[in-house]
């Protein structure tokens, strides 16, 4: 079984995808981490993420970088959102993601274009969203646990900025696949969101566990 989970920043898609992976015992790939690694690689090398050549060169990152806590920062998220708009960067990362989706026992991937580009044939697709204000508050709380204090207003501005870039780019924009189930987590606890996600996947796949 392949499960695709897409949605904007801090919508809850990562938490939901990880919980689904545990529930269905599937391997999980956070594809945003790949774009974060590319963006961070470019910035650390002194390059400009907006430069297509520098961004493409950044795709040759060492996999150890994927474990670097710095990838979780807002700066890494912003750099990721810039490099991810280059079609050559998306093309360079596509095979790795499709190979993961094609694992014999199935897989779960989260990102922006999983249900539309990476695994359009997925058995179940969730499009997870939440209001920008709720997402900024969540990101704020998450960053406090990492010892980073950024105001909710700053985070809200960054989230709106990233949404605009992700939704308006030509290459694989963030858009709900026609056959994806919408899950709005604005007023749901994590537990309630996960239960709802499991119910939606079960309904799509008729799997009872």
Find, among 127, 129, 109, the residue nearest to 119 by Cα: 109
Contact between 12 and ligand CDP by CB under 6 A: the answer reads no
Contact between 49 and ligand CDP by CB under 6 A: the answer reads no
User: Which residue, 148 or 203, is less far from ligand CDP as judged by CB?
Assistant: 148
Contact between 162 and ligand CDP by CB under 6 A: the answer reads yes
Q: Distances in Å between the alpha carbon of 163 and those of 33, 109, 111, 145?
A: 17, 20, 13, 24
Contact between 40 and ligand CDP by CB under 6 A: the answer reads no
Interface positions, 74-103, toward ligand CDP (CB under 6 A): 77, 80-81, 84
Closest CB 10 distance from ligand CDP, rounded Å:
6
State which of residues 19, 20, 26, 35 lies at the interface with ligand CDP (CB under 6 A): 35
Find, among 150, 126, 127, the residue nearest to 138 by Cα: 150
Residues 6+ apart with CB under 8 A from 14: 30, 32, 110
- Cβ proximity of 92 and 35 under 8 Å: no
Interface residues toward ligand CDP, by CB under 6 A: 9-10, 14, 31-32, 35-36, 77, 80-81, 84, 111-113, 162, 166
């Amino acid at each position: 079984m392949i499960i695709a989970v897409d949605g904007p920043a801090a919508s809850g898609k990562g938490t939901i995808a990880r919980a689904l992976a545990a529930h269905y015992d599937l391997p999980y790939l956070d594809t945003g981490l790949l774009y974060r690694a590319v963006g961070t690689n470019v910035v650390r090398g002194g390059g400009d993420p907006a430069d297509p050549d520098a961004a493409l060169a950044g795709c040759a990152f060492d996999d150890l970088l994927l474990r670097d806590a710095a990838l979780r920062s807002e700066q890494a998220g912003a750099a990721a959102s810039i490099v991810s708009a280059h079609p050559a960067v998306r093309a360079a990362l596509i095979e790795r993601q499709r190979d993961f989706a094609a694992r014999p026992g199935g897989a779960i991937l989260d990102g922006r274009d999983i249900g539309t580009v990476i695994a359009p044939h997925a058995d179940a697709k969730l499009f997870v969203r939440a209001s920008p204000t709720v997402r900024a508050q969540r990101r704020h709380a998450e960053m406090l646990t990492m010892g980073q204090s950024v105001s909710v207003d700053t985070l809200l501005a960054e989230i709106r900025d990233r949404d605009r870039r992700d939704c308006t780019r030509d290459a694989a924009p963030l858009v709900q696949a026609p056959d994806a189930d919408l899950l709005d987590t604005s007023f749901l606890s994590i537990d309630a969101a996960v239960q709802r996600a499991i119910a939606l996947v079960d309904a799509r796949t008729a799997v009872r566990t």
